[in-house]
Amino acid sequence: MGIIIDWVFPKKCLGCDVNGNYLCSKCQKEIKSLGVSYDDKRLEGRIGLFKYDGITREIIRMIKFDFVGDAIKEIGNWMVAALKKDYPNVVATWRKEKYVMIPVPLHWRRENWRGFNQSAELAKVIGDKLKIEVNKDLMIRKKYTKSQALRQRGQKSSNVEGAFKIIGKIPKKIIIFDDVWTSGATIKSMIKILPEKTKVWVLTLCSGR
Ligand SMILES: [Zn+2]
């Protein structure tokens, strides 16, 4: 399968078109890394690894349609390297205190159509490498919302209000994981329904700020 896919779609860097990887090492270095944000009182902290613009926007678009899964694997490994390098203390805390990673669920209609949830797949790669438990069966998305591209600006927050439902036992310490943080409305509406004492970190591949 891999050989055929490579032949039909040769792997090229999204940034500079050089063959070999989805993101070459030169372009990796040019992507701006962001620090930990403490912008929401409900959170222990939030890590948006990379700035959401240009190449990272293309990466997000690509992993949504990565039916082979090798782009997700490559990007997941890149995230793991960045976490180990830039946030060793946070990662150590997550491991020591047994944080459980919960990927933001997709509505079943969208997941069926796409065939997978890109955030859950990425979380799996990261959890495996960092030895952090991942559980995607604790919450569901009960409300079907239009994709971001079809939505009007400013419409997002009302759209995701009440979108999630808890269906499992929420661990005391969790990391909510998603591909991108823009307004944060989606993740905030997830946090709203969590037990008050739950300690929450947020980790995303990209962040608008
Ligand atoms: Zn490149």
Domains and CATH numbers, the chain: 31-144+156-207 (3.40.50)
pLDDT score for 77: 96
Q: Distance, CA 14 to ligand 1 centroid (Å)?
A: 6
pLDDT score for 147: 58
Q: Distance, CA 54 to ligand 1 centroid (Å)?
A: 12
Q: Distance, CA 171 to ligand 1 centroid (Å)?
A: 40
What counts of helices (H) and strands (E) characterise the chain? Answer: 9, 8
pLDDT score for 146: 65
Q: Report the alpha-carbon distance of residue 194 to residue 67 in Å, rounded.
A: 32
Q: Distance, CA 119 to ligand 1 centroid (Å)?
A: 23
Sheet of 173-181, strand order: 36-37, 45-51, 199-207, 173-181, 100-103, 133-134
Q: What is the pLDDT along the chain (209 residues), one digit of tens a residue?
A: 455 555 666 789 999 999 999 999 999 999 988 999 998 899 999 999 999 998 999 999 999 988 778 999 999 999 999 999 999 999 999 999 999 999 999 998 888 888 889 999 999 999 999 999 999 999 999 988 765 545 555 555 457 888 999 999 999 999 999 999 999 999 999 999 999 999 999 999 999 97
Residues within 5 Å of ion ligand 1, judged at the Cβ atom: 13, 15-16, 24, 27
Q: Distance, CA 12 to ligand 1 centroid (Å)?
A: 8
Contact partners, residue 70, CB within 8 Å, separation at least 6: 2, 5
Q: Distance, CA 29 to ligand 1 centroid (Å)?
A: 9
Q: Distance, CA 104 to ligand 1 centroid (Å)?
A: 29
pLDDT score for 8: 64
Q: Report the alpha-carbon distance of residue 112 to residue 5 in Å, rounded.
A: 22
Q: Distance, CA 28 to ligand 1 centroid (Å)?
A: 7
Paired tokens of 125: 């790669």
Q: Distance, CA 20 to ligand 1 centroid (Å)?
A: 10
